[in-house]
Chains A and B, each alone.
Chain A
Amino acid sequence: MFYLRLVLVFAGIVALVLIGRAVLIPKSWGEYGYYRGGYIQEEASRDLVYGTNKSCEKCHEEIYELKAEGTHKRLSCEICHGPVTVHVKDGKKIGDMPVRKGDKQIELCLTCHAKVAGRPEKFPMIEHIKHLEELDVKLTHTCDQCHTVHEPLENMNIIKKMHELRTLKEEVSQ
């Protein structure tokens, strides 16, 4: 009788522990190791905020192509314009993208192109005011008055080509 009671108590404790384990230990615990394996899936399925440049191509093909062939080809559209998910959802426009103008634009361009010790020497850098003075333009000029923002050298390349054509024409006529 005494032993039966002991066995019952023991069985009760085992049952309690088993129930406790079943309730407290997450299902995917130990799936890959001593942690909750299901978290990997949870983390992996988190929604994206930023897309890639390909996300912009469908609607803004012209700018995409201009940029893709120019000096800003490595630049992500979303650096300047912000994440795509605030702009498009399920193929529909849900909000405006910030386009920076005036002083904000100058500030944005200088984030990368200001001459600061530490930046690689090959990288195109300017001292803002000095650059404007050198080129003899108004000090209030914004960057996009000369540079196409999506391909900064577009206008410069056209001018270069025109110069070449003119010299070629002069040579031929001589």
Chain B
Amino acid sequence: MKIDQNFIDKDRRGFIEKVVKGSIAGSLMLMIPMNSKLFAKVAGDDSKLVSLIDPKDKAKHYAFMVDVTGCIGCGSCCVADRKENSVPQGQYRTWVERYVIDIYNTVYVDSPEGGEKGYSKPRTDIKEKIKDAFFVPKLCNMCEEPSCVQVCPVAATFKSPDGFVLVDNSHCVACGYCVQACPYGVRFINNDTKTADKCTWCYHRISKGKLPACVNACPTGARKFGDLNDPKSEVAKIYNSKTVLKVLKKSLGNEPALFYVGAHEEVI
């Protein structure tokens, strides 16, 4: 019995020793740095991009504007978006909502099939007289402080240095945190790729000097895209004019780069 007790005591000492050594070794490993170029000034060309976009170019400040007063609810943007980005049926990177307000200020919102088929028929279920109605296109807000990036546990979604929130679907584990975190509901788990997906403002088109597919498709110019730092661009002209610009859910502090012109308070 006594022998056994000694053996246990001795072993306990050894165990503690091992734990201490192990934790020292482990903490030493934390000191090996990540290879981040953000902290090391690397001279040389990073211009591997064939694109016009330089991800490190902070001189450009891209912004998207939606003119609610100009939208006719034809759904061309949604059709173009689906084909351009091969979005599965029943899922939407962008969609158009219809707001109808009756004389008692009741707000009715609908978006059948994301507005993709176009609103060519009026709503028949509203009995009261209609006071106002308008269409509101929705897409990624490209937040300055994106909630989705903050919650991603594997850093699959990130904000590129030029301000685009993108999803690296080879890293995404489809946990769906970002889908829950996005205050604008623009994220979804793509049924085809089984990873998180969202509107990218057609990053692949912009990088080749083209407008996003939805902007290109918009027949009334209700969707506008451009660089706020380029005084010649349409968005910069609107931004610098006295036009009232609104962002969705401003109080959340996400600081979207998507601005709405002529949006009613019901939308905000």
Contacts and interface: CB of A to CB of B under 8 A. Distances in A.
B48 interface: yes
Interface centre among A14, A17, A34, A37 (most CB of B within 10 A): A37
Nearest to B24: A10
A110 interface: yes
* 4 A-B pairs with the lowest CB-CB distances in the bound complex, closest first: A118-B133, A35-B158, A111-B118, A46-B204
B161 interface: yes
Given A10-B25, A50-B83, A112-B118, A36 B168 contact: yes
Given A118-B100, A119-B72, A49 B155 contact: no
B160 A114 contact: no
Contacts of A45: 50-51, 204, 207
B84 A36 contact: no
A80 to B, nearest CB: 9
B205 interface: yes
B135 interface: yes
A30 B34 contact: yes
Given A45-B204, A50-B217, A78-B217, A118 B98 contact: yes
B120 A111 contact: yes
B105 to A, nearest CB: 16
A25 B255 CA distance: 32
B155 A83 contact: no
Interface string A86-121: 000000000000000000000100111010111110
A85 B49 CA distance: 23
Interface of B: 21, 25, 28-29, 32, 34-38, 46, 48-51, 53, 55-56, 69-70, 72-76, 79-80, 83-86, 98-100, 117-123, 130, 133-135, 155-161, 166, 168, 170-171, 200, 203-205, 207-208, 210-211, 213, 216-221
Given A75-B219, A78-B217, A110-B120, A34 B168 contact: no
A50 B85 CA distance: 10
A5 to B, nearest CB: 12
Interface residues of A, number: 47
Interface in A5-37: 6, 10, 13-14, 17-18, 21, 29-37
Contacts of A36: 155, 168, 170-171
A6 B18 CA distance: 11
Contact of A79 (B34, B86, B119, B219): B219
A79 B80 contact: yes
A148 interface: no
B34 A39 contact: no
Given A32-B55, A40-B49, 18 more contacts: A14-B29, A30-B35, A33-B38, A33-B158, A33-B161, A36-B170, A39-B171, A41-B51, A45-B207, A46-B204, A47-B204, A50-B205, A50-B217, A51-B210, A78-B216, A112-B118, A120-B72, A123-B220
A74 B100 CA distance: 27
17 contacts: A6-B21, A10-B25, A17-B29, A17-B32, A32-B37, A35-B155, A35-B168, A39-B166, A41-B51, A48-B205, A48-B210, A74-B221, A79-B76, A83-B84, A117-B100, A118-B134, A120-B220
B84 A49 contact: yes
A76 interface: yes
Given A34-B155, A110-B120, A44 B98 contact: no
A13 B18 CA distance: 14
A52 interface: yes
Interface centre among A29, A75, A110, A118 (most CB of B within 10 A): A118
Nearest to A123: B72
Contacts of A74: 219-221
Given A44-B53, A45-B204, A46-B204, A32 B121 contact: no
Contact of A118 (B50, B135, B158, B210): B135
